[in-house]
Chains A and B, each alone.
Chain A
Amino acid sequence: GESVGLHLPTLSVQEGDNSIINCAYSNSASDYFIWYKQESGKGPQFIIDIRSNMDKRQGQRVTVLLNKTVKHLSLQIAATQPGDSAVYFCAAGGGGNKLTFGTGTQLKVEL
């Protein structure tokens, strides 16, 4: 089955710095990936997605990189702000509607 994991459970960064959150997946059949942000007491919020036919996708202050060779993706947040403090999950999908979540990284932004 799919296994989606994250390298670091907690990441602390200074306000204004760039943040990089990593995620590894095991199922080479996964062809679609989403990054979510979840604040305390709320549901996961869609940030950005990427399909396996792409290596990079950019949004507003965020960039997702996908390395299919090593089954790894990352979320880069530019100029991290206090409002970025949350838990970040990657999720992987393949055929069908199954979307499997990774273990999550707590991002803490220090002033």
Chain B
Amino acid sequence: DTEVTQTPKHLVMGMTNKKSLKCEQHMGHRAMYWYKQKAKKPPELMFVYSYEKLSINESVPSRFSPECPNSSLLNLHLHALQPEDSALYLCASSPKGGRVTEAFFGQGTRLTVV
């Protein structure tokens, strides 16, 4: 089983809304990632959690707030987003913290900011 589950699949939110994206894996993986992908572009790394601790923040604006409640769950809290934040948000996980190995992705949340 290499499944990473993301919810919701689609989300439309206004610029004053607060919403959250959720990601779940039950593979016992100890590293979890958030990526942002715009159309016809590669995924861009946003955050990495390693052993439930934030290990990488790629200078992401504070309107994106990650949270890792436990080793199976990863959230991305969204507040006061801009239309240019509309994108596919991808979650991934890999077995080891501290060193990237096989990384498996979910199907993503298609976010539209209006």
Contacts and interface: CB of A to CB of B under 8 A. Distances in A.
Given A32-B100, A46-B103, A89-B42, A97 B94 contact: yes
A15 to B, nearest CB: 24
A97 B99 contact: yes
Interface string B66-102: 0000000000000000000000001010100111111
Nearest to A91: B103
A42 interface: yes
Interface of A is mostly: strand
Contact of B101 (A32, A36, A101, A102): A32
Interface residues of A, number: 23
A43 B105 contact: yes
A76 to B, nearest CB: 20
Interface of B: 2, 4, 6, 31, 33, 40-45, 48, 50, 55-56, 90, 92, 94, 97-108, 110
7 contacts: A34-B103, A41-B110, A44-B105, A46-B105, A89-B43, A96-B100, A99-B100
Interface of A: 32, 34, 36, 41-46, 49, 89, 91, 93, 95-104
